Amino acid sequence: MSQAAAAQQSPRVAGDAVPVMARQRRLSILRPLLMVGGVLAVAAVTLVLWVTGGGTVTSDDAYVEADHLAISTDVSGLVSDIAVREGQAVNKGQVLFRLDPRRFEIALAAAKADLNNTALTIESMKQDYRRILSNVASTEATMASDRATVVRDTWLRERGGIPVANYDDARFRLAADRAAIQSLRHSAAVELAKLGGDLSLPLTAVPQYQAAAAKVAEAERRLSHSVVRAPFSGIVTDVSKLQPGMYLKTGTAAFGLVSNRHFWVTANPKETELTWVKPGDQATVRVDTYPGRAWHGVVESISPAVGSEFSLLPAENSSGNWVKVVQRIPLRVRLDLRSGDPPLRAGMSVEVSIKTGHRRTLADLW
């Protein structure tokens, strides 16, 4: 390149370097400002989120709960009929299954016969009581005659009119009459006590009749319990566990019944998260099975003890190697169910968000 061309290019290169250097100077000034500003912005956003986030408590250790029961009965017998099928929805009072009623009908007939026999026995006891009273009156009349004989024989004996043996016979008959009357009155008292102490008591108030009537009531109860009905509305499950002809013992679980109307959520938040939570707080529930859907509810109750207190082997913290562990306290959320909501099932995993209404302040940082 000639010297003339180099001379012409030098001013152009020098002119281009000026804005580059200026841009570098601006960047060197803006870079610290942007770094500091970014940190301050992040800190400000974090502070705002911390202050505004103090009024909400969330927990993913939560599950849908429902009334559920292992259906059983308090009488034993052979299963004669199963009136439901697996997964069927039933209403309260609907028949689920039946036991063979024959043995219970026989027991009821025997109890009723015993009740009738007891009624006849009570009537017989009343008649015996009246008979004893009649015997008392008859014996008292005989005793009055024997007493008069003793008085007469005493007067005659003093004058030598009768032998001493006759006088003694009269006295012994009078003593026997007195003993007989005392025995009859005792027997009458025993009969009256058996009748409840009052002969005018109605038949149903006599203790023996009440005992027999109680046996009839128990036999009727056992017969009625041979037909097992749903204690609440729900859906039956594991019905195949019960088969006709199976001998079902008292208290043996036949199959399950899960409510399809009464649901709630049991959450287990950490104890450190429950500072401001109280019954009546509004809650939002999201079920993992239904993304995008939310249920609203209210905190119904908070357990008076941590969950570990109800375990079979509670933690023993008296040893020297004890480590502090944050406990979880169960709480219950009542759901506000609406028509058209997807079906809920016991045991579903959910996330609970509770609005406590508490607002944090900068003083809480210290």
**CATH code where residue 341 lies:** 2.40.30.170
Show which of 225, 244, 269 is a domain's final residue: 225
Residue 94 lies in a domain: no
- Residue of higher predicted confidence among 350 and 132: 350
Same domain, 194 and 119: yes
Provide the number of structural domains found in the chain: 2
- Percent of the chain at pLDDT > 70 equals 84
Residue 348 lies in a domain: yes
- Confirm if 333 and 298 have CB atoms less than 8 A apart: yes
Q: What is the pLDDT of residue 119?
A: 92
Among 49-63, 85-99, 222-236, 344-358, the least confident range: 49-63
What confidence tier does 6 reach under pLDDT thresholds 50, 70, 90?
very low
- Confirm if 96 and 90 have CB atoms less than 8 A apart: yes
In the predicted structure, residue 292 carries a pLDDT above the cut 70: yes
Same domain, 112 and 216: yes
Long-range contacts formed by 127-132: CB under 8 A, 24+ apart:
128/191, 129/188, 129/191, 129/192, 129/195, 129/199, 132/184, 132/187, 132/188, 132/191
Same domain, 214 and 282: no
Q: What is the pLDDT of residue 44?
A: 72
Same domain, 289 and 343: yes
- Confirm if 354 and 53 have CB atoms less than 8 A apart: no
Residue 185 lies in a domain: yes
Q: What is the pLDDT of residue 356?
A: 87
Q: What is the pLDDT of residue 18?
A: 60
Mean local confidence (pLDDT), 10-23: 59
Mean local confidence (pLDDT), 20-39: 71
What confidence tier does 222 reach under pLDDT thresholds 50, 70, 90?
very high
Residue 242 lies in a domain: no
Show which of 183, 202, 225 is a domain's final residue: 225
In the predicted structure, residue 1 carries a pLDDT above the cut 60: no
Same domain, 219 and 272: no
Residue 44 lies in a domain: no
Same domain, 221 and 117: yes
* Coil, strand or helix at 201: coil
Q: How far apart are CA 286 and CA 292, in angstroms?
A: 8
Q: Supply φ then ψ for residue 52, to 5 degrees.
A: -80, -15
Mean local confidence (pLDDT), 84-102: 95
In the predicted structure, residue 103 carries a pLDDT above the cut 50: yes
pLDDT digits (tens, 9 = 90+) for 241-270: 999 999 999 999 999 999 988 899 999 999
Same domain, 218 and 270: no
Same domain, 122 and 217: yes
Token digits of residue 165: 């043996």
What confidence tier does 293 reach under pLDDT thresholds 50, 70, 90?
very high
Residue 35 lies in a domain: no
Q: What is the pLDDT of residue 185?
A: 86
Residue 113 lies in a domain: yes
Token digits of residue 141: 């009349």
Same domain, 212 and 281: no
pLDDT digits (tens, 9 = 90+) for 122-142: 888 888 888 888 888 888 888
Show which of 178, 202, 225 is a domain's final residue: 225
- Residue of higher predicted confidence among 150 and 280: 280
In the predicted structure, residue 320 carries a pLDDT above the cut 90: no
Mean local confidence (pLDDT), 296-325: 78
Mean local confidence (pLDDT), 332-343: 91
Same domain, 285 and 346: yes
In the predicted structure, residue 365 carries a pLDDT above the cut 60: no
Among 30-34, 76-80, 233-237, the least confident range: 30-34
Same domain, 185 and 275: no
Residue 340 lies in a domain: yes
- Confirm if 89 and 292 have CB atoms less than 8 A apart: no
Which domain covers residue 351, as residue numbers?
A: 55-68+259-310+324-360
- Residue of higher predicted confidence among 157 and 366: 157
In the predicted structure, residue 102 carries a pLDDT above the cut 80: yes
What confidence tier does 112 reach under pLDDT thresholds 50, 70, 90?
very high
Q: What is the pLDDT of residue 144?
A: 85
